Amino acid sequence: MFWYEEDVKRLERERIQLDYQPKTAFYGSSTFTLWKSIYQDFDTFFPVNLGFGGSTLAACAWYFERVFSQYENLESIIVYAGDNDLSNNRHPEEIYLFFFQLFDKIKVKYGAIDCTYVSIKPSPQRWYLNDQVKYTNMIIEREIKKREEANLHFVNIYDYYIGKDQKPNHQYFEQDGLHFNKAGHNVLKDELVKHLSNINSISFKY
């Protein structure tokens, strides 16, 4: 995991740049790291962006204690990761295990905090992994529903990025066919704002 070290050090400095107490953490891979407007898009939820590099769910679980050491009063954690695990030849079952390992660590530190897993997106560059993407999403969603824990959530974004030809819609992706462009992030923003509003019937206090 040493190749993430510089990114993790950057995240350890992120807290001192904020002039408010963060309430909502976005944790995961470049889907969050490259989201330039994330602080503006979620300002009413007091966000902190803790995405790093091309992180995997395995790395998210590994570095959790370090990355979150300065955040004691969070109310919600949004997780996006898993597609990099698949591209590194991890099996869906391994990704499933890494997510619930991360969730267990979140529970130890924060108790009954809201924790949301965002489904893996279908990207043009990794379309060859589509069957594994769908299976990974399915087994994680199934387990979340099975557990019936009020603070554990699944947000399925997969279908929003599929075109009429049943393939990834290029209008939502950068030219690399992997990362979201502004339109792609706007779709995700709308879904997550709606989700965060639903799980927080009482607005965050300033």
Between CA 90 and CA 7 the distance in angstroms is 22
Q: What is the pLDDT of residue 205?
A: 38
Burial class (CB in 10 A: 0-12, 13-18, 19+), 26: buried
Q: What is the pLDDT of residue 3?
A: 56
Rama region for 120: left / alpha / beta (φ>0; ψ in -120 to 50; rest)? beta
Instruction: Output the tens digit of pLDDT for each of the chain's 206 residues.
Output: 555 777 777 777 777 788 899 999 999 999 999 999 999 999 999 999 999 878 899 999 999 998 999 899 999 999 999 999 999 999 999 999 999 999 999 999 999 999 999 999 999 999 999 999 999 999 999 999 999 999 999 999 999 999 999 999 999 999 999 999 999 999 999 999 999 999 985 444 33
State both tokens at 167.
């393939």
State both tokens at 90.
């991890």
Question: What is the DSSP secondary structure assignment for residue 3, as one 8-state letter?
Answer: G
- Range 21-199 has CATH code 3.40.50.970: no
Query: What residues contact residue 46 under an 8 Å CB cut-off, 6+ apart?
Result: 20, 21, 22, 23, 24, 204
Which phi and psi angles does 155 have, rounded to 5°? Answer: -115, 115
Q: What is the pLDDT of residue 54?
A: 80
State both tokens at 129.
């992994």
User: What residues does each domain of the chain span?
Assistant: 21-199
Cβ-based neighbour number of residue 27 at 10 Å: 25
pTM above 0.75, yes or no: yes
Spell out the alpha helix ranges (H) of 111-179. Answer: 130-147
